[in-house]
Amino acid sequence: MDNLISQIKHLQNSEIRKVIDARVKEFNELGMKNSNEIFKELCFCLMTANFSAEGGIRIQKDVNEGLLVLPEDLLASKLKALGHRFPNMRAKFIVASRKVKDNIKEKLQEFNNDEDRRQWLVDNVKGLGYKEASHFLRNIGYSNVAIIDFHIIDLLVKHNLVEQPKNKSLNGKKYAEIENTLKEISNKAGINLGELDLYLWYMETGKVLK
């Protein structure tokens, strides 16, 4: 773990810190916006499951207000035209999730911690697993849950901090186990889990996305 912490601290003293700090500022600002804007970010996180973040960003920008109002069939056609791998299923999830659209900002504010916020999302938004729910929360300024995707797992395995999971899809118990390792890293690095994800993602991909 010490080697990984050392690499993170090196990045914290480099130009990449400015990029990451700017991205965190954007997340916090998005969390201050209205429920419609926050819901669009939820749609982005629904779309990135088994798809690329770059593709999700592009589609989110293109469809924009349509995420709020398009009927399922038209939304699916739009997603297909824009190259999404699973246009029908993602359109289904987005339309179903509109039941939380109008009060999602206020609902999330009711909880005392990010883990309870995440569990509510997993229980109430079809298509959101722990990873996607954590991603959504981080992107609207709730930074105390970990986004565990294969990039992060590969990095942790490389540093002998976790074993390679047998299943690509993590159950709640396995997710919590890996998250505890990430909490230890974030505490030692002096950053929250949301920031840690950006540093680790940069280490693995050379990119700072959202």
My answer on whether 16 and 94 are in the same domain is no
Averaged over 127-139, what is the pLDDT? 96
Question: What pLDDT, in 10s, does the model give residues 19-49?
Answer: 999 999 999 999 999 999 999 999 999 999 8
> Is 131 a residue of the active site?
yes
> Is 40 a residue of the active site?
no
Instruction: Read off the CATH number of the domain in which 195 is found.
Output: 1.10.1670.10
Catalytic residue among 101, 105, 131, 210: 131
Model confidence at 74, pLDDT cuts 50, 70, 90, reads very high
Total number of domains constituting the chain:
2
DSSP letter for each residue of the chain: -HHHHHHHHHHHTSTHHHHHHHHHHHHHHHHTS-HHHHHHHHHHHHHHTTS-HHHHHHHHHHHTTHHHH--HHHHHHHHHHTT-SSHHHHHHHHHHHGGGGGGHHHHHHT-SSHHHHHHHHHHHSTT--HHHHHHHHHHTT--SS----HHHHHHHHHTTSSPPPSSSSPPHHHHHHHHHHHHHHHHHHTS-HHHHHHHHHHHHHS----
Residue 164 has pLDDT above 90, yes or no: no
Residue 117's domain comprises 33-139
Residue 168 has pLDDT above 80, yes or no: no
Catalytic residue among 101, 114, 149, 210: 149
Averaged over 155-174, what is the pLDDT? 87
Last-in-domain residue among 139, 165, 185: 139
Averaged over 86-98, what is the pLDDT? 97
The reported pTM is 0.94
My answer on whether 134 and 176 are in the same domain is no
210 part of a folded domain: no
Last-in-domain residue among 89, 120, 139: 139
More confident residue, 150 or 59: 59
Averaged over 44-61, what is the pLDDT? 92
Last-in-domain residue among 120, 139, 158: 139
